[in-house]
Amino acid sequence: MYKGTPSRIRKVLYALIMAFGLLCVRLVFVQLGAAKPLSDIASSQYRLVVSLLPKRGVIYDRNLKELAITINLSSIFAEPFKVKDKGLASEKLANVLGISRDEIYKKLSQKKGFAWLARKVSPDTARAVRALNIKGIDFIKEPQRAYPNGVLASHILGFTDMDNNGIEGLELRFDKFLKGVIGYRYSIRDAKQREVPGYEYKEILPIDGDNMVLTIDSLIQSLAETELEKGYEKYHAKGACIIVMDPYTGDILALSNRPSFDPNNAKVSPPDFRRNRVVCDFFEPGSSFKIIAASSLLEEKAVKPSDKFFCENGKYRWCGHTYHDHTPHGWMEFRDVIKFSSNIGTMKAAQRLGKDRLYKYIKKFGFGAKTGIELPGEVNGITTHPSTWSKLSLCSISMGQEVTVTAIQLACAMSALANGGNLVKPRIVERIQDRTGQVIQKFESKKPHRVISEETAKEMRDILRSVVDSGTAKLAEVEGYFPAGKTGTAQKVEPSGTYSHSKFTASFIGFVPYDDPKFVIAVIMDEPRPFYYGGVVCAPVFKKVATQIMSYYKIDPKLESYRSPTPAGSRASIGAPIEVSKKKNEAKKDYR
């Protein structure tokens, strides 16, 4: 065939065969060696993975009223290269979005394919931007956490960030339950990067977050917050908090702090406003801690309520240190020592107990350890071991100094007195359930452990009732419901280490009714001014909250009047100096 063909043609033929051979080699290389990466590059150009966001779980109160829900809002983005007249577009968008023109222009001038303009805007804003009809400006739906009650229970609920991750409160603590699992849809896209409908080849559905049911009652929460706010404003306090608790189950019905914040717009509030003082802050409780010394003294039978103590007419020197009572007292029965909150009487009684037994009861009442409430950031408080105590420590600790506690610890300790001597674990989450209502996790009330006997608890309830009836907390009295409780006014410690004479922590922790307690209410105010006594600033808040709660629960007031368990003669034992001092210190007389 090739005979006689010119050598030139033959050369071309060889060249062609060689070129073909090279192509074959290349083909083999492509097919066997580089097939995978090349195939990946090709598929990445037309394949599309769409993230399917799960719905974050709803948070309900105990009556299944929504406290936190998720809504879808539009986020606005730009494809800068598609926007033609960037100046005009910036001008128009600035008017609608309320962002400066320069900022928008900067975003539109970026050499990027995508730039966020505003995320999760209101439906009205989205509608207004859509009406501008600017090419290159588009929308995407994003889930947004919304709190319909605004500031209500904000410290309990916490809030989420832009990507719906829990940042504070229960949103943070139970983020893994609430957030759900992201899903994916695998599809193909066209040349304009749009998803081609009908070509989805794989879909992994998202799993929505679980719902959470709290022990909070939003109505009680609301009225507690309203009254706390009024007290906080009236006394210009630096901070304030309130807890309403069921003393038998430990269920928290309301928990609030001041200052507060709106979780719908949390980032505008300072971090200090977002701190849950109830569990994160510890303080010296002052006289409200006397309930621990008194309970342990009665439980150990170191004193009887009728035992008499000489209160040194208000001034007592002990181990080189002078202790004072706000109101001078002479001889007093132990029950009156607590009723009138005598520091001197309490420290004298505490000496009968000794430091080891006092420490044992401090620990038994749960101080110095976390209560285990389901809120993040809980602190222990500080209770030092008796081996490190000074000679003054026993006296100081018995009256609430040299020891720091949290508000929730005090509420739990008072619950133990109210319920007959059992320390309960506070509970704020009742259950977690999935979208179908099936319970995923139930937070049962833990079996309470006994810290004092029923008799001691009853004796303490009687003493605490007298505190409200005729002691330092008369402003807490609720007619027909007979509340009981203990006031506290603690000097704050200055940075220099000395006790301040102008900064106080006022508190009132009580329960109602005293003979069949239904609720424990703790009110604490940090640096109230100009008045700073627990019986003046906190007791009225307790009274207002207790009155409304009893009415809300349709608990009828009792018609019979309260009869003090204090024997009639006991008041006569209070010496003459009291009467004198009462006249002298009219403003201070009863409200420590």
- Kindly state the helix (H) or strand (E) to which residue 74 belongs, with its residue range: strand 66-78
CB of 126 to other proteins, least distance (A): 11
CB of 541 to other proteins, least distance (A): 16
CA atoms of 259 and 525, how far apart (whole Å)? 11
Nearer to other proteins, 187 or 419 (CB): 187
Parallel/antiparallel/unpaired status of strands 252-258 and 239-245: antiparallel
CA atoms of 32 and 44, how far apart (whole Å)? 20
E strand segments, 122-201: 137-146, 183-188
CB of 521 to other proteins, least distance (A): 17
CB of 535 to other proteins, least distance (A): 22
- Kindly state the helix (H) or strand (E) to which residue 69 belongs, with its residue range: strand 66-78
Catalytic residue check, 287 = yes
382: which DSSP letter? Answer: B
Q: What are phi and psi of 208, to 5 degrees?
A: -65, 155
E strand segments, 166-258: 183-188, 202-204, 211-214, 239-245, 252-258
CA atoms of 427 and 247, how far apart (whole Å)? 11
CA atoms of 288 and 521, how far apart (whole Å)? 13
Nearer to other proteins, 306 or 551 (CB): 551
CA atoms of 546 and 520, how far apart (whole Å)? 9
Tokens 């209101």 belong to which residue? 122
Nearer to other proteins, 386 or 480 (CB): 480
Torsion, Cα 381 385 390 395, to 10 degrees, reads: 60
CA atoms of 224 and 544, how far apart (whole Å)? 9
Residue 47 to residues 39, 187, 188, 204, Cα–Cα distance (Å): 12, 6, 4, 16
Catalytic residue among 75, 154, 287, 581: 287
Residues contributing to the site for other proteins (CB under 8 A): 66, 69-72, 123, 141, 146, 148-152, 196-200, 218-219, 222-223, 226, 547-548, 551, 557
* 256-290 CB burial, b ≥16 within 10 A, e <16: bbbbbbbbeebeebeeebbbbbbbbbbbbbbbbbb
Nearer to other proteins, 69 or 280 (CB): 69
Nearer to other proteins, 117 or 220 (CB): 220
CB of 575 to other proteins, least distance (A): 40
User: Which is nearest to 263 in space by CA: 435, 116, 98, 59?
Assistant: 59
Nearer to other proteins, 256 or 393 (CB): 256
Nearer to other proteins, 218 or 371 (CB): 218
What residues are labeled active site? 287
